[in-house]
Structure formats: structure tokens, C-alpha cells
Amino acid sequence: MMSGLLALLDDVAAIAKVAAASVDDIAAAATKAGVKAAGVVIDDAAVTPKYVHGFKADRELPIIWRIAVGSIRNKLVILLPALLALDHFLPQAITPLLMLGGAYLCFEGAEKVVHALAPHADHAVEADFDTKDPTRLEEEKVAGAIKTDFILSAEIMTIALATIESPSFWMQAITLAVVGLLITVVVYGAVALIVKMDDVGLHMAATGRTGAGRAFGRGLVKGMPKLMAFLSTVGTAAMLWVGGNIVVHGLEVTHLWAWPYETIHHAADLAAAAIGTAQGLVSWAVTAFFDGIFGLILGVLLIPVATRIIGPLIAAIRPTKAKA
């Protein structure tokens, strides 16, 4: 009896060791994958604040929460099983699908740039928060944010999947789920802190015990609108450089057109060598700049395609679906 109990305890201890090792492997793989995808994560955090810019303070956190829930659904319900299935059965389809998403980011970013430089009357009216139903506007903003998040999340999850070195399907799935959850918490937690800092500033200005604390609070109140406007601009730029990077890299990987990728990286290497210091930062900045230029050009070229071909096609299909 005692020997049987000891054998059972040995088996339990062995299982516990395997489980602990698996947890360590998942944590290590998730950390590695998260670091690898850090660039897109930063872009995701830069894009999101613009979707709450202009709303009343009491709607900011609910909007961020709705986008975060949509982001988790994008990552865990749609992208995780889809990417794992593609990775195992049709890996060559992943890059073209990402390129389509990158092209959409380029289109959306370029459209915002064009409207900012040459706003049309109808767009000016739509941008006016006082003349449009706030509920409908919020629904549109949340839907647009979740759509953009889907593309950025696809890039993040694909990078993470490529980083995970495990022969086990379930280890890949669990690690990818952990990465998706952690990145969502980090991104939208940071966004929530950014958009509510003006409220923190108001509280400090009103209840600060020292003059310096109250002055700091007033500085936050005055500075946060400018920071939000800046982040909104950065978010548009992020759409262009992330979208451009996805398409440029995809063209090179698929051997369709390697010239943009090779030219941009050659320019980045030359700039980094010429500066001599902070070469990694210089290389990234030059690459992001030219990726953004490529993304802007591609997006501008896609605007008439989207507005004159794709848009009318969708409008023609929707009534048919409604009648059915």
C-alpha cells in the first residue's frame, strides 16, 4: 500500500514538473514573441487614441473597453484558429492576406491625409461632433477601430506565430493566446491611462497638497489635448508606415517586386552607417519614413479604386442581401 502511494506521488511529482516546464516554455515563448512584435504593438497603441479624440470624457473609457473587447475577439476567436489552420495547411496564403490588410491600412491613412489637406464639405460635416448623432458616431468609431485593430492584430499574431518554436500544436495555440491577451491588456491599458490623464490633472490641480503638485496638474490639463491631437497624427502616420511595411515586405517575400524593400533597406543601412551612433534607431526611422511614403502613395492610388469600384459594388450588394 505504502509503495503504491509513493509511486503515485512520484507520478504526480513528475506530471507537476512537466506542467511547470510547459508553463515556463509558454512564458518564455510568449515573452520572445511579444518582444519581436513590439514595433507593431507600439503602432497599435499610437493608432487607438485617435478613435476617442473629441468624445466627452465619460465616454472615453467605455469606448476603449469596447475596442479592447473587439480586439480580444479579433485575436482569439478569429485570428488564432485561422492563423494556426493556415500555418498547418496553407502557409503560403498568410503573406498575401497580410498584404491585403496592409493595403487597407494604407488606404485608410491616405484617405485621412487627403481629407486633412483638402477637406470636402460632406466630410467636414461628418467630422463635426455637434451636428451628428453621438451614438451613431460612437458606433462608427468603434467599428472602425476594431477593423483597424484586426489588421494590426493579424500582423502581431503572425509575427508571434513565426517566433514560436514548438512542435506541439497546443503549445503554439496556448502561447499565441497568451501573447494576444497580454498585448491587448498592455495596449489598451496604456491607451486608457493616456486618455484619462487630463482627469488625473484636474484632480491634482484641485486637491494637490503642494503648489508644485497643483501646477503639475494644471500642466497635465493644458497639455493632454495637445498630446491627444499629436497621438491622433501619429496614429495616421502609423497606419501608413505599418501598412507600407507589410506590403513592401510582402512584395519581397513573394518575389513579386523586391526593389522597394531592397532600396529602402539600403537607404536605412547607409543612413545608419553615416550617423555612426544609435544605428538601430536611425535604421528604423529611415525605414519607417520610406515605408510611410510608399504607404501614402499606395493609399492615394487605392482611393479611387475604393470609392469608385469597391464602394459601389458593396452598395449594390447590400440591398440584395436585405431583400433576401
121: pLDDT confidence band, cut at 50, 70 and 90?
A: very low
Question: CA-CA distance, 26 to 22, in Å (whole number)?
Answer: 6
Question: CA-CA distance, 39 to 32, in Å (whole number)?
Answer: 13
Return the residue matching grid coordinates 518564455: 28
Q: Nearest 5°: CA angle at 179, between 74 and 189? A: 75
Query: Is there a contact between 101 and 147 (Cβ–Cβ < 8 Å)?
Result: no
- pLDDT the model gives residue 157: 83
- pLDDT the model gives residue 220: 83
Question: What's the rounded mean pLDDT across residues 88-115?
Answer: 87
Residue of 317 and 14 predicted with greater confidence: 317
pLDDT above 80 (res 304): yes
Question: CA-CA distance, 29 to 164, in Å (whole number)?
Answer: 6
Query: Is there a contact between 169 and 84 (Cβ–Cβ < 8 Å)?
Result: yes
110: pLDDT confidence band, cut at 50, 70 and 90?
A: very high
**N- to C-terminal Cα distance for the chain?**
71
Summarize pLDDT for 179-211 with one digit per residue, the tens.
888 888 888 888 888 878 878 888 888 887 888
Question: What's the rounded mean pLDDT across residues 13-28?
Answer: 43
Three-state DSSP at 95 gives helix
- pLDDT the model gives residue 120: 59
pLDDT above 50 (res 18): no
pLDDT over 70 percentage in the chain: 76
Work out the mean pLDDT of the chain and round it to a whole number: 77
Summarize pLDDT for 241-281 with one digit per residue, the tens.
888 998 999 999 999 999 999 999 999 999 988 887 778 88
164: pLDDT confidence band, cut at 50, 70 and 90?
A: confident
How many Cβ atoms sit within 10 Å of the Cβ of residue 275? 14
Cell (9 digits) for 162: 513565426
The count of residues in the chain is 324
Residue of 101 and 302 predicted with greater confidence: 302
Query: Is there a contact between 149 and 66 (Cβ–Cβ < 8 Å)?
Result: no
- pLDDT the model gives residue 128: 44
Question: CA-CA distance, 137 to 124, in Å (whole number)?
Answer: 14
Question: CA-CA distance, 40 to 23, in Å (whole number)?
Answer: 26
Q: Which one-letter amino acid corresponds to residue 18?
A: V
Summarize pLDDT for 28-83 with one digit per residue, the tens.
544 544 444 445 555 555 566 666 666 677 778 888 899 999 999 999 999 999 99
125: pLDDT confidence band, cut at 50, 70 and 90?
A: very low
By the 10 Å C-beta count (0-12 exposed, 13-18 middle, 19+ buried), 269 is classed as middle
- pLDDT the model gives residue 45: 59
pLDDT above 60 (res 12): no
Nearest to 51 by CA among 27, 71, 77: 71
- pLDDT the model gives residue 124: 42
- pLDDT the model gives residue 221: 80
